[in-house]
Structure 1
Amino acid sequence: MMKRKKWSKKALLPVLGFAVLAAAIPGAVSANGEKEGGKGVSVKSVEFVGMPAPATAVQMADLYTTASIKVTYSDGTVKSFPLSYKKLFKTTDKVGNTIAGVAIDAKGNPIMDTSVAGQSVPYVSDDPDSNSLFAVPGAKPTGKGGNPLALVTHYEYITANNSGKSAYGQVPASMSLTTLDQNKTTGELTPVQLKKIDFSGVGGLWIPCNGSLTPWNTHLGSEEYEPDARAFEADKTKTFVGSFSSYYDSSKAENPYAYGFLPEVTVLPDNSTKVVKHYSLGRFSHELGNVAPDMRTVFFGDDGGNTMLFMYVADKAKDLSAGTLYAAKWIQKSAENGGSADLQWIKLGQASDSEIKAIIDKGTKFSDIFETSDAAADGFKAVKVYSSEGNKAEYLKVKPGMEKAAAFLESRRYGAVLGATAEFNKMEGVAINNKDKKVYVAMSYLEKAMEKDSKGADPSDDIQVNKISAGVTYELSLGEEKKDRDGGKIESAYVPYFMKGLVWGEDLPTPDAKGNKAADDKVANPDNLSFSQELRTLFIGEDSGLHANNYVWAYNVDTKKLSRILSLPAGAEATGLMTQDNLNGFSYIMSNIQHPGDEMIVADSLKPEVEKLINQNFENKKSGVIGYIQGVPTKQQMLAAKADETRLVSLGEAVKGGARVFWSHDSDDILLLRETHTLVFRLGAKKATVDGKEVVLSAAPQKVKGQAMLPAALLNDFLRL
């Protein structure tokens, strides 16, 4: 191993001029001094090499990855790309002058937590969720020399107030817009400024869970667990609407029908935002909406028990302000491993946002839409849906002329009245595979209404699959020229017609030594999903009550290989999962954590130490984290890395990448420092040390025209650490 020499202070000469001087020397040469050219080598395969499950208390309390990406080239050679996790900020951090997760009212003022006498503090969320990372054409430079990027982030809820009592759903939620600087050499992201997005024009933001980036570069958010309008009308204290309204804007009338929709956020070049709520996309427990490549068809998650599979087809591409809403009927084919079924679509109605908003604004109540009965009666339909009080059957009849209100304000109840299946359980994330025309949907817990109704107590029993508490991720096949149940043409080439289990977990009969109640080498309770079109990989984030630590997984849809690529602190949920395959030449896997240390199922022998470390790492469990997995190469970078094995670059490239360079010109030894990482190499030697570990080089560093040159592959790997 090359020994690192003792560097004296006099010998540590920062090479500050290389970024400027680099233009005067060859930027890159091959090992024999010739310009590197194409060799006809291509990428044959890409594989995620997974990481072991955490084995110690320290690891179980950490957010980290030791996974990598293995690239095999057409000439048979292999290159490994190590991955690492990069924290952007915690929800409790100030970015600029704003606390990231702070809750605000309609005037933009922080909402204060006065639950402890004499200790009035702002409510700050520990529960970040959805991320949309994108470039805004015409955005102003950051002042840090990189590319300006926008990051929209959800803060889903606040777990508890300062006195320790639950605050879930009671305090208005929020989103932030963070301006990021993207280093042009390394792709590293640095937060520059954060501001809260103004939702006062749409009455505030209800529990925003996951979201997506539309094909036209806007953020499509969500409002989950819509308040039950029937319960509200009977007793206002049975929903969070009153608490929400008192905190957000007490001057406005309380109305449950104002919430439960998808907001769309447009970021403008001057860093301002425009927000609209899409009332025509239906009202239910929106986990998220994801738009197909036709820019018209939208697929949804509907979280909760006894929920429904919906689809929306917009009248116009890139415009979600008007369209047709459909609900699915499950026609079962098999029961094993999540089961399989044909899907039949039932048209609920066609409407515009403005039509539905007008119905809401005139104060429409549940009793204006439905007649109800306490028992079976002629003309009444028995339904059992998520909103049903006490999870009991309801007997409903739509009042004449109120079909449109029912379709878009009570989408799940109306769908059930028309015969759609309302038996899905914990329907979560949605991702789209454009090339294969597949949609992936996570069902976190395969139980309850999805099992066979052995007692015959439910109004319907379409879904009768075998119980898997660890959950299933489904694959839906998409087709064109499909018709709805009544023979009407569905104006989309992306209509789901068949659904089957793709990735499923395994329940354990008894917990293992770490406390796991489901197999630790398989996905348990899938939640967030995202699909990389370039890597042909489905990413799955967990929200598990069955794993001691939740994970993010990579599932290759061609090889069917499943790899663990991120481990979360015990009790934390993986959220904000989003892939960007090529953003200014760099790829990212965004991934946040919520509520670290919450409701841990860690074995008693480990729990005290794990809990102590989580409290140290995450401000006594009050901080969620926003960040990403870095080191994911684009296809162009994979090819460049192959060429870089012998291509040499100047030390100026190291300076551009954020490294400090120390080189006494009378010595052949050179030291690079970047954050906590070190690289030491010697001119003419084919070995180097990175963070004290020896690496073997394909080409030796050289001195060219008085300037030190090192292998580009070595430098790029170092800058990705």
Structure 2
Amino acid sequence: MKSNFSLTNTASGKPERIAPGSTHLQRRQVLKGALGGVATLGLGSLGLSACGGSDAATAVAPTGVEFIGMTATMTDVQRAATFTSASVKISYSDASTKTQALTYNTLFKTGDTLKNGSANVIAGAYYDINGNPIMDTSGTTSEPFYSDCPDGNSLISLPNPAVAGVTGNTLFLVTQYEYKTLNNAGVSMYGKLPSPISITTLDQDKTTGALKAVKHFNVDTKPANGLWITCASSLSPWNTHLSSEEYEPDAANIASNTMFQEFSKNLYGSTTAANPYHYGHVPEVTVNPDGTASIVKHYCLGRIARELVEVCPDNKTVLMGDDGTNTGLFMFLADKEKDLSAGSLYVAKWTQTSATAGGAATLTWIKLGSATSAEIKTLADTLKASDIVTVKKTDPLDASYTKIAFNGATEWVKFTVGQEKAAAFLESHRYAAVMGGSMEFTKMEGVALNRKDKVAYIAISYIQKSMSDTAGDIQAGAISAGATYELKLSAGQKDKAGTAIGSDWVPTVMAAVLALVGEDLVAPDAVGNTANVDKVANPDNLKFSEKLRTLYIGEDSGMHVNNFLWAYNVDTKKLSRILSVPAGAESTGLQAVDKLNGFSYIMSNFQHAGDWTAIHSVVKVGADPLINANWNNKKSAAIGYLSGLPTL
């Protein structure tokens, strides 16, 4: 027996009928009327019902989604913007379908003036250790520095929020700003400014799900000694923002690190005041119901080139990306659930099983040590590098030294007896190499979890150098366009010493996902791409949607003229291009929000629009003036989200 379907028109309050035998177009027209004529951002609150031969109602709801990707062919106008022509095909429980466009929505741009109560705040602005704006005096006029490189986002809902001016649902967006590309004189500012973090209170429309900025609060990072190059991030299972500090400053060679000296000067007013051992850790931001926040830095997860951390469902096991050359796959196991202030640090040993298509291996684990954050903070406060390790650049011809590879170079190192804990947690890269870890990964970026299948995904942006040479444990062959790897997570594992690892989420097998292996081109294509434009090149940000069974992949590619955001369905193996960021920019700020007050989003930012390289020679002439017009002469970038997703 055919059913009559009804739903309520949000404009008139009257029921709208979808008659038996209605066409797909007729169904869409009634659906549009019920939504007040606006594009829906989520379908979880439509109240769609079906009436059959009884009074019992059977809900008609979305059951599946297929992404319909966009072409890589674009105009100059599209190449200069955050652009999408992608859509989603939504399947329903009554066997009907609907195709719905994705839309990119800019919440604000860095450099915009936003409100914090009655005060004006510049989005993405930089502050010294005492909260004073850091000024760019390099040009003809002095102005506050603000970032063009927003990165990690966390969209958060809290019980009993208390922010004035919100008429819908109150949400909070934590955003961290990785660096500033150039000052007004065109000089690189990478790593020279302390990274800010902001909390933006958002007003979520209860009918459409649309988001609007209401308040913008800058987190006081003084309790964390300021922040260094905050890259990607994750939302913890206990609803806090887990930040990162990438490319830890090398304490053994800090005297020659002019970038870190400039950072110290901008933060403290002195080139020598900042302590390198205070950076390279995990900051955690807790948002308050009034839109303010507090921050604490965890020192016991190892000091590495951390892209981000991802916490497993046990609330204790933490997987980490380690970005650089001669880096490692690290894991942290907290002593207590939902508490990163104490635990044990491990590094992986790669035993190769395949050298093709990015390589594959079984993984075993070496325990480096156990500590509390307070212990390591005390060591960081009181020790210099020379108290922990002696580093030689040439062979000392002394058997007490160990030859290692560190940051692409050969070193000979010797650790001070009695300083093993300091070595493990403050000189983690060097110590892990001496302890037998496979310190040969390159550009290990984002980490994401597929909880249902009990697998993790890790992006290796460039497979090169120490991963592709013929020495050591990893010999995967060079793929400049990189690959995304899948890691099987297992219980019942023991470390190298034979001690049980108290986690059911230990990576044991690692292999590249064939559909997500990049393809280098022998020669550039007609537009300038040096990697196949219909495959992911140089993956960076990763996030997984449990509801949509989809892995989102954001590019940081020097091989694609425009970087893309991709959706990969892990069941159908379909790869779809869903967003392009401005030419020369990278895709950042990725977060998959499956259901928040009945709406779903993909949070997405970009960095450094118009950062031109040799591959951009074809598009630069047309795109450059448009990028300057759109993004404040390349000084601004967008913080925003993709809408149009259903809520399953």
Give, in whole Å, the separation in 2 of the partners of 1:520 and 1:377: 51
Superposition deviation, residue 145 in structure 1: 1.3
Task: Answer whether contact 1:142 1:180 (CA < 8 A) is retained.
Answer: no
1:406 corresponding residue in structure 2:
423
2:126 corresponding residue in structure 1:
103
Superposition deviation, residue 45 in structure 1: 3.6
1:481 corresponding residue in structure 2:
492
- Comparing 603-612 and 253-262, the one that deviates more: 603-612
Superposition deviation, residue 582 in structure 1: 0.3
Q: Is residue 120 from structure 1 mapped to residue 142 from structure 2 by the alignment?
A: yes
Q: 1:382 aligns with which of 390, 394, 403?
A: 403
Partner of 1:244: helix, strand, or coil? helix
**Structure 2: gaps spanning 5 or more residues:** 1-8, 21-29, 31-47, 52-56
Q: Which amino acid aligns with 1:101?
A: G
1:576 corresponding residue in structure 2:
589
Q: Which amino acid aligns with 2:447?
A: V
Q: Which amino acid aligns with 2:147?
A: S
Give, in whole Å, the separation in 2 of the partners of 1:253 and 1:50: 50
Identical residues among aligned pairs (%)? 53
Superposition deviation, residue 616 in structure 1: 1.3
Superposition deviation, residue 57 in structure 1: 1.7
Q: 1:614 aligns with which of 627, 639, 642?
A: 627
Q: Which amino acid aligns with 1:264?
A: E
Give, in whole Å, the separation in 2 of the partners of 1:35 and 1:53: 39
- Residues 663-702 of structure 1: CA distance to partner in whole angstroms, max 9, x if unpaired? xxxxxxxxxxxxxxxxxxxxxxxxxxxxxxxxxxxxxxxx
1:586 corresponding residue in structure 2:
599
Task: Answer whether contact 2:62 2:646 (CA < 8 A) is retained.
Answer: no
Q: CA, structure 1 residues 575+35, in 2 after alignment: closer, same or farther (shift >3 Å)?
A: closer
Superposition deviation, residue 258 in structure 1: 0.8
1:437 corresponding residue in structure 2:
454
- Residues 115-150 of structure 1: CA distance to partner in whole angstroms, max 9, x if unpaired? 23x511111110000000011211115424111101
1:331 corresponding residue in structure 2:
351
Partner of 1:511: helix, strand, or coil? coil
Partner of 2:429: helix, strand, or coil? helix
Partner of 1:88: helix, strand, or coil? strand
Q: Which amino acid aligns with 1:165?
A: V
Superposition deviation, residue 41 in structure 1: 5.4
Give, in whole Å, the separation in 2 of the partners of 1:40 and 1:124: 49
Q: Is residue 566 from structure 1 mapped to residue 579 from structure 2 by the alignment?
A: yes
Q: Which has the larger radius of gyration?
A: 1
Give, in whole Å, the separation in 1 of the partners of 2:155 and 2:501: 32
Give, in whole Å, the separation in 1 of the partners of 2:253 and 2:309: 26
Give, in whole Å, the separation in 2 of the partners of 1:254 and 1:75: 62
2:361 corresponding residue in structure 1:
341
Give, in whole Å, the separation in 1 of the partners of 2:554 and 2:320: 17
Give, in whole Å, the separation in 1 of the partners of 2:453 and 2:349: 23
Task: Answer whether contact 2:163 2:290 (CA < 8 A) is retained.
Answer: no
1:264 corresponding residue in structure 2:
284
1:89 corresponding residue in structure 2:
108
Q: Which amino acid aligns with 1:308?
A: G
Give, in whole Å, the separation in 2 of the partners of 1:130 and 1:628: 13
Task: Answer whether contact 2:163 2:291 (CA < 8 A) is retained.
Answer: no
Task: Answer whether contact 1:545 1:601 (CA < 8 A) is retained.
Answer: no
Q: CA, structure 1 residues 612+138, in 2 after alignment: closer, same or farther (shift >3 Å)?
A: same
Q: 1:224 aligns with which of 246, 263, 283?
A: 246
Q: Is residue 136 from structure 1 mapped to residue 149 from structure 2 by the alignment?
A: no
Q: 1:499 aligns with which of 502, 507, 510?
A: 510
Give, in whole Å, the separation in 2 of the partners of 1:26 and 1:56: 44
Partner of 1:336: helix, strand, or coil? coil
Q: Which amino acid aligns with 1:108?
A: G
Give, in whole Å, the separation in 2 of the partners of 1:42 and 1:59: 34
Partner of 1:298: helix, strand, or coil? strand
Superposition deviation, residue 303 in structure 1: 0.7
Partner of 1:168: helix, strand, or coil? coil
Superposition deviation, residue 601 in structure 1: 4.3
Q: Is residue 471 from structure 1 mapped to residue 495 from structure 2 by the alignment?
A: no
Aligned structure 1 segments of 4 or more residues deviating by more than 6 angstroms: 32-35
- Residues 372-424 of structure 1: CA distance to partner in whole angstroms, max 9, x if unpaired? 443142122111122xxxx3211112211100000000111100000101110
Task: Answer whether contact 1:550 1:568 (CA < 8 A) is retained.
Answer: yes
1:367 corresponding residue in structure 2:
386
Q: CA, structure 1 residues 83+274, in 2 after alignment: closer, same or farther (shift >3 Å)?
A: same
Q: CA, structure 1 residues 35+334, in 2 after alignment: closer, same or farther (shift >3 Å)?
A: closer
The TM-score, its normalising length taken from structure 1, stands at 0.81
Superposition deviation, residue 80 in structure 1: 1.0
Q: Is residue 357 from structure 1 mapped to residue 355 from structure 2 by the alignment?
A: no
Q: CA, structure 1 residues 444+144, in 2 after alignment: closer, same or farther (shift >3 Å)?
A: same
Superposition deviation, residue 563 in structure 1: 0.2
Task: Answer whether contact 1:151 1:177 (CA < 8 A) is retained.
Answer: yes
- Comparing 38-47 and 544-553, the one that deviates more: 38-47
Q: CA, structure 1 residues 141+198, in 2 after alignment: closer, same or farther (shift >3 Å)?
A: closer
Task: Answer whether contact 1:54 1:567 (CA < 8 A) is retained.
Answer: no
Q: 1:208 aligns with which of 220, 224, 230?
A: 230
Task: Answer whether contact 2:62 2:647 (CA < 8 A) is retained.
Answer: no
Q: 2:171 aligns with which of 149, 155, 158?
A: 149
Give, in whole Å, the separation in 2 of the partners of 1:625 and 1:26: 39
Q: Is residue 54 from structure 1 mapped to residue 65 from structure 2 by the alignment?
A: no
**Structure 1: gaps spanning 5 or more residues:** 1-17, 454-459, 636-721
Give, in whole Å, the separation in 1 of the partners of 2:404 and 2:148: 36
Superposition deviation, residue 31 in structure 1: 5.2
Partner of 2:441: helix, strand, or coil? coil
Give, in whole Å, the separation in 2 of the partners of 1:101 and 1:132: 15
1:716 corresponding residue in structure 2:
none
Superposition deviation, residue 617 in structure 1: 1.2
- Comparing 38-47 and 64-73, the one that deviates more: 38-47
Give, in whole Å, the separation in 2 of the partners of 1:81 and 1:350: 51
Partner of 1:241: helix, strand, or coil? helix
Give, in whole Å, the separation in 1 of the partners of 2:59 and 2:231: 46
Give, in whole Å, the separation in 2 of the partners of 1:45 and 1:572: 32
Q: 1:538 aligns with which of 551, 570, 584?
A: 551
1:177 corresponding residue in structure 2:
199
1:72 corresponding residue in structure 2:
91
Q: Is residue 452 from structure 1 mapped to residue 469 from structure 2 by the alignment?
A: yes
- Residues 322-367 of structure 1: CA distance to partner in whole angstroms, max 9, x if unpaired? 00000011110001111100011000000000000111112x1111
- Residues 579-630 of structure 1: CA distance to partner in whole angstroms, max 9, x if unpaired? 1100111001001010001024455343211111111111111111100001
Q: Is residue 632 from structure 1 mapped to residue 634 from structure 2 by the alignment?
A: no
Q: 1:289 aligns with which of 309, 317, 320?
A: 309
Give, in whole Å, the separation in 2 of the partners of 1:496 and 1:177: 34
Q: CA, structure 1 residues 354+582, in 2 after alignment: closer, same or farther (shift >3 Å)?
A: same
- Residues 146-200 of structure 1: CA distance to partner in whole angstroms, max 9, x if unpaired? 1110100011001011111111111111111100000000100000111111101
Q: Is residue 318 from structure 1 mapped to residue 331 from structure 2 by the alignment?
A: no
Partner of 1:401: helix, strand, or coil? coil
Give, in whole Å, the separation in 2 of the partners of 1:603 and 1:179: 37
Superposition deviation, residue 28 in structure 1: 5.8
Partner of 1:85: helix, strand, or coil? strand
Superposition deviation, residue 35 in structure 1: 7.3
Give, in whole Å, the separation in 2 of the partners of 1:104 and 1:186: 36
Task: Answer whether contact 2:199 2:218 (CA < 8 A) is retained.
Answer: yes
Q: Is residue 191 from structure 1 mapped to residue 213 from structure 2 by the alignment?
A: yes
2:265 corresponding residue in structure 1:
246
Give, in whole Å, the separation in 1 of the partners of 2:184 and 2:78: 28
Q: Which amino acid aligns with 2:370?
A: Q
Partner of 1:350: helix, strand, or coil? strand
Q: Is residue 526 from structure 1 mapped to residue 539 from structure 2 by the alignment?
A: yes
Superposition deviation, residue 290 in structure 1: 0.8
Superposition deviation, residue 634 in structure 1: 0.4
Q: CA, structure 1 residues 196+86, in 2 after alignment: closer, same or farther (shift >3 Å)?
A: same
